[in-house]
Structure 1
């Protein structure tokens, strides 16, 4: 499986491999690939072991094609408690995406009792399958087409390497996995007909282990526009939230009822 990755990192930037391409068009990169490349560039240039990347917001300005993504990073703020960095991803001098990473220094919790939200999420037992799909209507299965319905969706999965020859870091894993917020919130009985224009990932801690889960919390729509949120999980419980805004793309609706290719 050493050939399973999304990009090769060269002097030209992030050069797409076949797993970086999506299903919206034959020469169009998928959302997880773009978000993962942004997170990888931010962490490589501006990551810090004592800080947790508590919020990452990625704006997807235009469709990314099958040519190198060229990153330009910059430090916006470097303080005792907060670091802020940005990255622009270009293709042929066109700005494809911009991401901001806000990192806070680890600390001790304040005194007193705190309220915490409860998020029941019972993942399936790990086995040889990379992805499990879930819905309120059918529970957990490994067959995506069984969950094309109008009920709440969830996902339990690992991610493939972003860059050839590198295992993804916990930060890159959670950003890449969180892009599936669009899938679990916007997937209905006829497939997925919204395309997200952004992703915001907010976490209180980095994930442990190689599996990350998402469970849809909200799906709010009007006039062909959608806002969706999902809770992110690892094996120890909730770690944060993903949020996407999306616009109807019904002309290119993706129907999962016939299944998806195995990776």
Structure 2
């Protein structure tokens, strides 16, 4: 593996170090549970979100939809970003980002931004949505997971049950020395949609091939909640949706599609990579 040296890490944890303008080297924090040399979803989502926002973001526009297609397992090697501005309209902007490893595209993302404006007249239906977090947060870890059956804890294994799940996350930095923006925090936290919808009694047996995060507004604080709304599965295919929350209420939605992966099922009660459960 070409992961960057833990001994060189800064005081704040991070997923990548930037070695050139468009080249990033994964850290140990970017590793996933799916294999000995696999990168995790939040790291990849965070990198494309950050790259797109830095290149095409505009304070007069809201980054309202990010769709990330995870083509194949990304690994701990130098990762290159490739960008394209698809449309630069007055009200709608569209852009794309690819993550390339060893000459092969492993991730492709599309970003839709809408110009901020006044709302239309009238009132619309709004789904009732509440998120009740843990009584105490572990500021040192930055995560908590809850389920209707087991309440809140900091161990995923406590929630290998068939009840509704929720996740509270303060994301780590995507790139060493560069704090995450509100948009990047929301995109990374939304990747937890896969965890809260696909975690069952035997762990996680579906691997998501994508993530779509849709935002009505940006989060106003660092901690972001992700609460499962639906999980539908048939013939080894699963679809999961979740609502995203900050301290003031709902801010948007996450959706993942996933495929059964029983050969590499992650049983957190018998965690093959306990050092990666951060």
Aligned equivalent of 1:59: 69
1:138 CA drift (Å): 1.3
Name the counterpart of 1:32: 42
* Residue of structure 2 in register with 1:88 after alignment: 98
* 2:15 aligned partner: 6
**Which structure 2 residue ranges, 5 or more long, are not aligned?**
1-9
Cα deviations across residues 84-130 of structure 1 (Å, max 9, x unaligned)?
Answer: 11011100110101000000011111111221111121112453341
Aligned residue for 1:171, secondary structure, equals: helix
| Structure 1 gap segments, 5+ residues each | none
Partner of 1:194: 206
Note the C-alpha offset of 1:227. 0.4
1:112 matched to 2:122: yes
Runs of 4+ in 1 over 6 A off after TM superposition: none
C-alpha distance in structure 1 between counterparts of 2:86 and 2:205, whole Å: 36
Over aligned residue pairs, what C-alpha RMSD do you find?
A: 1.4
Q: Are 2:118 and 1:121 aligned?
A: no
Q: Does structure 2 conserve the Cα–Cα contact (< 8 Å) formed by 1:2 and 1:165?
A: no
Match of 1:205 in 2: 217
Partner of 1:98: 108
Given the two structures, how large is their TM-score scaled by the length of structure 2? 0.91
TM-score, structure 1 normalization: 0.96
Task: Verify the 8 A CA contact 1:7 1:20 in the aligned structure 2.
Answer: yes
Is 1:164 the counterpart of 2:176 in the alignment?
yes
1:194-216 deviation digits (Å, cap 9, x = unpaired): 00000000010000110000011
Counterpart-to-counterpart distance in 2, 1:125 and 1:107: 37
My pick for the range that moved more, 120-129 or 40-49, is: 120-129
What residue number does 2:187 align with?
175
1:146 aligns with 2:158: yes
Q: What displacement does 1:258 show?
A: 4.7
